[in-house]
Structure 1
Amino acid sequence: MNHYDCVIIGAGAAGLMCAATAGQRGRKVALLDHANKVGKKILMSGGGRCNFTNYDISAENYLSGNPHFCKSALSRYTQWDFIALVEKYGLAYHEKTLGQLFCDNKARDLLNILLAECDKGGVDIRTHTEIFQVEQAPTGGFSLTTSAGRYECQSLVIATGGLSIPTMGATGFGYDIAKQFGHTVTRRDAALVPFTFKGPWLALTQSLAGVAVPAQVSCAGQSFAEALLFTHKGISGPAALQISNYWYPEDSITVDWLPGVDLPNQLKQWRQNAEKASLGTLLSTYLPKRFVVQWLEFHDEKELLQKPLADWRNRDIDALSDILQMWQMRPTGTEGYRTAEVTRGGIDTDDVSSKTFASQKTPGLYFIGEVLDVTGWLGGYNFQWAWASGYCCGNHV
């Protein structure tokens, strides 16, 4: 029998942070994971360089059934706290865009910092460990039946993440444990995920596959202005991934391919100047010419490509403005958990303490990280949630 003060299931970002924090408080901690190595998402994220936090973190960057739940942890362990930790180890990092911080070299450097912190706390890390059964021990605490034998602990932390990227070992284990102990699990969907199309729209995106265009993408009252990428399945890129957090099936998405540009006024000015250049050439100042040509052909406005600007009517200007700045489309779906970066939804936060992350139904049980109904934007926000929730929980288990 293995006896510990605290057992943490899930050796991802939140679990590692929680284990290091609790261990350095003098707690005897075991960190268990069924995978063959720890921190898999850390290693693959950000193209292998891990977008580990953001200079600008606030509760507005997160979705949850309770939008206030994340505020406490984010204020008690901020992005500056995590930056101070990595700087203590001399990690080289840089800001990419919009406050997003990446490792200069590789994500392994960041993972090594977390492992060093766990080592300082004497954390017992066990991989290849399947959890077969979790039950409350007769004397209090919990008893776990695993492929590595039986474990007993006073505090049990579930840090198993969501359903995204099952090839890396993601399962619904954390949700099953929550339900076992009387917690509600909200609807879950793949999020931060590319969209898929069918029919003519799919043919269009396939013809433009590989073309990236800065755009403003809007849905459900939320907008993001970043790059949008055409793929062989639909659309991807930061703008698409961001808005996927807010999209539900049957929702339409509006795309402005020229955000910040007064296109009607620009077209009227070109008409007044009797510009001789083709529309495709004139718009190439703003957009890839290949995109402009195929976009207008798809919308049956091919004649506008050859029509001299001096001959344009106001209705031509209105039509082009609608096509380029108010394009509405309804995706068929998304690429699903296979490529999703996170899971939207999860364990209902109403029965979890925002201060300690303790279950309000079962003493000694805790939930942290992505397994909860807290979903961040693209850009380091989900990692910051992992660090913050893991740290705050680690100070109480």
Structure 2
Amino acid sequence: MGPLREMAAREGKKTNVYSVCIPGGVIPDVERVLPDAMKGTWCTHLQVVAHVGTNDVCRYGSEEILSGVRRLSDLVKTASLASGMKAELTICSIVDRTDCGPLVQSRVEGLNQRLRPFCDRVGCRFLDLRHRVVGFRVPLDRSGVHYTQQAATRVAGVVAWAGRFFRLDGLGQVLKGQQPQRVRGKVRTCGDQAAIGIVIVSCGSCVGKVPELQALIESTEAVIVIGTESWLKPEINSAEIFTKVQTVFRKDRLHATGGGVFVAVSSSLSCSEVEVDSSCELLWVEVTLNNRARLIIGSFYRPPESAALVAEQLRENLEYISHKFSQHVIALGGDFNLPDIDWDTQMFRTGGRDRASSDIILSALSENYLEQLNREPTRGDNILDLLITNRPELFDSLSAEQGISDHKAVAASLNMEVNRNIKKREEGLSV
């Protein structure tokens, strides 16, 4: 992470970040340092962020590294119980070293794939730096081994902010904390946070399905609805499909049947359409919260067997939106019809179809620091309906729900800060 230093950084107000580096250190070295480091820190909620494994892969086997992660998790739980403060461990994904050969780099990739489910089992969290959560194209310094100061600060700050939604019980297990609630399409706040319910639905025609659509919106407590395959035409008024408490933006397919996308937003939120140059079925809407925090919500439909040009147009749009609205939370949902992308490995499955379009989409996400969150099949065994964002740490409670067509709907909760005057002191300890 850079030379040994103690620094206070501002990623969120009232969040203090302390960074400690052990040059050439491995997990056992962190185990020796961590208890004393935690003893010297007291706060209402301690986030311990451990970037380990980069040096370990050159010395230890995979099972030894995973055992070390388990020991670190146990250390944090024990210290939490002994001190009486809430503490949580986050393990960062292992970053590829530039001074190691392809064999070690292959081990790094395999370990990262195992770390996320392993962390879930041992009761700690996992921050995937490979998906650009850090927000820096190159998080390492010139050595190719250590974080830059900016990247170290960003990692700790992101985890400290996200940690406000979690707490530890008496046994040190991670539980959902005081989460804001969503009720009947209205944004409800809890302290400094607001929960915004989002549902992505492939309609297979909205016409004749008004009761089913409204039931889905109510059951998921959605404030924002991202719809595809609406099958609507200009002569059909939005009021015939949606309620008066929703502001609706549409892009209908004009010269053929099927298709069409829409975004419906609760009238309690201010929103407006973002004009973009695109002939594909894509729509962007800007939503403003009560503290002027802003979201960019997108709806996209890619018909099956579409030419690669459709994916290329989306790629150009994502680049434009990501640069123009770099300070916004971006969420793009829709039916991509790309079943042969393995979203756990971010790779195209050998022998699959639509390789060109799949590769374009994967490159677009990587180039613009975006992550696809849905891992639940939405039609048969295929993951067709996606949720893409630049801020994955703000989303939780993602699930596949019964939809109104042969696709399942994707529901998620976006947790946003609505009050910048944070009264409680929180700290992040990055090791």
TM-score by length of 2: 0.22
More helix by share: 1
More strand by share: 2
TM-score by length of 1: 0.24
Higher relative contact order (CA 8 A, sep 6+): 1
Q: Which has the larger radius of gyration?
A: 1
